[in-house]
Amino acid sequence: MQHPADHSPLGKSSEYVSVYSPDLLFPIPRANKWAELGLEAGSLPYHGVDVWNCYELSWLTPSGKPVVAIGEFVIPADSPNIIESKSFKLYLNSLNQSPFADAQALSEVLVRDLSVVAGAPVGVRVRRLDEVATEGVQILPGICIDELDIAVSDYSHPRPELLRCDTARIVEETLYSHLLKSNCPVTGQPDWGTLVVDYRGPALEPASLLSYVASFRQHQDFHEQCVERIFLDLQRLLQPEKLTVYARYVRRGGLDINPYRSLQQAALDNRRLVRQ
């Protein structure tokens, strides 16, 4: 069966286009993966967004002078489409030799084009380098589970049966791991990320969570879909009062992707991690 991204630029040689070309953007419907996970549009069990950061955003002033900035793009998790990442980069590259009156004019074009392809309003911020530099690198809250001693032998697919919890003990805590890895479903190339789980409910056994994270190591899926799978597996196990799951992925081609899924409307900290 063909993957929805098989007709995208992903995994294919692509001509570098340096003049504004919104038709380079390629949508991937979320509905197929939602159906696989037992989800339906309009009744998703989470709130969320996908936050993209672009570190290679550049355009020209009306006088022809180059400008560089960092772009932040916030795509609703219930939008009909994901924007395929290579097409996103090709589109952003098409701005390089294109003049815009100012950053606000560029932002308006980005909002229009990205919202059309996502099928929902996309938030855009064009950020100065000094503004982002003052924010520094984010130090994650909670407990890192990466030093726990576990034995792993199967990396072929996510294994929710590895997850364990103590139903007699209710806790509120944040656990995280830098060991999340999955592979692109089209190219097979590795995607590296940090997973954060913030919850209130039966105490999750940290070693079981780490074993579960390791089981994604050869799994093929997009970033957004990995996080949704993790959220659903934890929700089924814990039946928590509160649950937020997010991943911050290492950038590729100047873009990083950071999916957030939560039972609540969660406040987001978009400062980059040290690997980003």
Residues carrying an active site annotation: 184, 191
Q: 35: which 2 tokens?
A: 């159906």
Contact predicate 117/151, CB 8 Å? no
Task: Report the candidate in 89, 94, 75 with the shortest Cα–Cα distance to residue 30.
Answer: 75
In angstroms, the CA 157 to CA 216 distance is: 6
What are the DSSP calls for 168-223, one per residue?
A: EEEEEEEEEEEEEEEE-TTT--EEEEEEEEEEEEEEE-HHHHHHHHHTTTT-B--H
Contact predicate 249/181, CB 8 Å? no
Q: 177: which 2 tokens?
A: 């791991």
